[in-house]
Amino acid sequence: MARKIGFYGILAYVIYGLFFYWYLFHFADTSLQFEYEGTRADPATFLNGRELMLSEEYSKIRNLLFFLSTPFEWLFYLFVLLLGLGNAFKKWAGQSTKLKFVQSAIYLFWLSLFAFAATAPLSYISYSLSKSYNISTQSFSSWMKDELIDFWINFGMMIIIVGVLYWLINKSRKRWWLYAWLLSVPFTLFMMFLQPVVIDPLYNDFYPLKNKELEAKILELAAKANIPAEHVFEVNMAEKTNSLNAYVNGIGSNSRIVLWDTTLNRLNDDQILFIMAHEMAHYVEKHIYFGIAGYLLLSLVGLYLTARIMEYVIGRWGKVLKIPAVNDIRSLPLFLMILSMLLFISSPLSNFVSRYQESRADKYAIEMTKNTDAAIGTFQELTRAGLSQVNPPLLVKIFRYGHPTMLERISMLEEYEINHKVKENE
C-alpha cells in the first residue's frame, strides 16, 4: 500500500509539472489585446527587444519553479511518512533526552534539516536563475547566509508553535484546533510587532532616509493624509538585487514605511512620492488590519479543516503512514502537508483581496499626487527592473499576483488621465 501511494504521489506530481510546463511555455498567451497596443501599457513602447525577450523567458521559468516548489513540499512530507523517517527522528530524539519538550525540538530539528536539504536544489535553481538574468546581485555566500537565517528563525518559531500545538492536542483531541487558533491571535500580532525591529534587521541594514529633502516631501505628503509619520526608512538592497520595492510593515508604534535603496537610485522624486502615496493609502484605509483579520479568519477555517482531515487520514491510512495517533509527534509532517495544501488552495482568494486593496491604493495615490506621467513611469521602471510580464497568464495571476498586473495598473492611470482632462475642459 505504501508503494502504491508513493507511486501515485510521484505520478501526480509529474503530470502536474508537465501540465504547467505545457501551459506556461506552449498554451498561455501573454500578448496584448489590440486596444492596448501602442499605449503606455504596451511593453514594446518602453522595453527594447532584448528586454522583451528576457522578460518572457525569465517569467516563464520563474513561474514554473513556483508551481513546482509547493507540491514538491507535499511530496517530501508524504515520503517522510511512507519511509518511516518520522520513526527514526523520534527514536533519535528519545535516545538523546527524557524531556518531552526537548524530544519534540530534536524531532523538529531533524525534520527541518531534511526539508532544508530536500528543497535546497530548487532554492538554488531559483537563486541562479535570478542571478543569470541580472535580477539578483547577491553573492553565493550572502544568499547562503540568508537561507541559514531563514532556517534558524523558522526552527526557533516552530519549536514554540509545535510544542504548544501538541500540548493542546494531548489536552483536547476535539477542540485543540480552536485553542490553537485563539493562541495564534496574540502570537501573530506579537510577531508583526517584532518583524520591523528584530527580524528584518537580521537580513539587511535599515536607517532613516538619507535624502532629507526627499524625506521632507514625503512627510508633507503624510501630513496631508493625516498620517503621524516621523521617519521614512531606507534599506540597503543594492548588494542583493536590482529589483525595486517599497512597503509598509509592522503594527502600532513599530510600523514602518520602507524604501529600497534601488528604488531611490532608479526613480526620480515624483515617482517616489507616488510610491509613498500608494503605501500611505494602506495606512489610511487600514489595509494592514483588514489583512490581519482576514489572515486570522482563514487560519481558523484552516486549522478546523486540518484537524478534521488529519483524523480522517490517520483513521484510514494511519498504519501505512506510520502515524499511531493525532497526538503523536510523528503526525507533524501530515499536519504541515495539509496546512500547506490548504494555503495553496486558498491563495486565489487571498490574492484577489490583496489585488483589490492594491488597486485601491493605486487610485488613492494618483488622486493625491495628480501626476500620471510619474505614476506610469514608475510602473514601467518596475517592469524593466524585475523583468515582469505586463500581461501574465491567467493561472499565474490567480495564484501568484497579490498586485494588479502592470497592464491593469497602467491602463487605470491612462483612463484617469483621460477623465481628468475631460473634467478640466468642461
Q: Which residue has the higher pLDDT, 249 or 341?
A: 341
Lowest-confidence segment of 54-58, 111-115, 221-225, 374-378 by average pLDDT: 221-225
Is position 278 annotated in a ligand binding site?
yes
pLDDT at residue 190 in the model: 84
pLDDT tens profile 178-217: 999 999 888 888 888 888 878 888 888 888 888 888 888 8
Which amino acids are annotated catalytic?
279, 362
Q: Are strands 233-235 and 256-260 parallel, antiparallel or unpaired?
A: parallel
Using alpha carbons only, what angle is made at residue 72 by residues 135 and 164, rounded to the nearest 5 degrees? 100
The rounded distance, in Å, linking the Cα atoms of 397 and 391 is: 9
pLDDT at residue 29 in the model: 86
**Per-state percent for the chain, helix, strand, coil, to nearest 5:** 75, 5, 20
Q: Please state the rounded mean pLDDT for residues 129-141.
A: 93
Is position 231 annotated in a ligand binding site?
no
3-state secondary structure of 207: strand
Q: Please state the rounded mean pLDDT for residues 144-156.
A: 94
Extended beta strands in 218-353, E state: 233-235, 246-249, 256-260
b/e map 136-163, b = 16+ CB within 10 Å: bbbeeeebeeeeeeeeeeebeebbebbb
Count of Cβ atoms closer than 10 Å to residue 220 Cβ? 10
pLDDT at position 229 over 70: no
The rounded distance, in Å, linking the Cα atoms of 339 and 307 is: 10
pLDDT at residue 252 in the model: 63
pLDDT at position 231 over 80: no
Considering Cα of 398, then 402, then 406, then 412, what sign does the dihedral take?
positive
| 418: Cβ contacts below 8 Å, ≥ 6 apart | none
Contact 360, 281 (CB under 8 A): yes
pLDDT at position 291 over 90: no
The rounded distance, in Å, linking the Cα atoms of 231 and 227 is: 11
pLDDT at residue 24 in the model: 95
pLDDT at residue 232 in the model: 81
pLDDT at residue 424 in the model: 64
pLDDT at position 425 over 70: no
From the CA atom positions of the chain, what is the Rg in Å? Answer: 24
Q: Please state the rounded mean pLDDT for residues 31-55.
A: 90
Q: Please state the rounded mean pLDDT for residues 171-175.
A: 89
Pick from 328, 314, 331: which is nearest to 170 by CA?
328
pLDDT at position 422 over 70: no
pLDDT confidence of 15, banded at 50, 70, 90? Answer: very high
pLDDT tens profile 297-340: 999 999 999 999 999 999 999 889 999 999 999 999 999 999 99
pLDDT at residue 390 in the model: 93
pLDDT at residue 289 in the model: 83
The whole-chain average pLDDT of the chain stands at 90
pTM of this prediction? 0.89
pLDDT at residue 4 in the model: 87
pLDDT tens profile 341-390: 999 999 999 999 999 999 999 999 999 998 999 999 999 999 999 999 99
pLDDT at residue 423 in the model: 67
pLDDT at position 421 over 80: no
pLDDT at position 271 over 80: yes
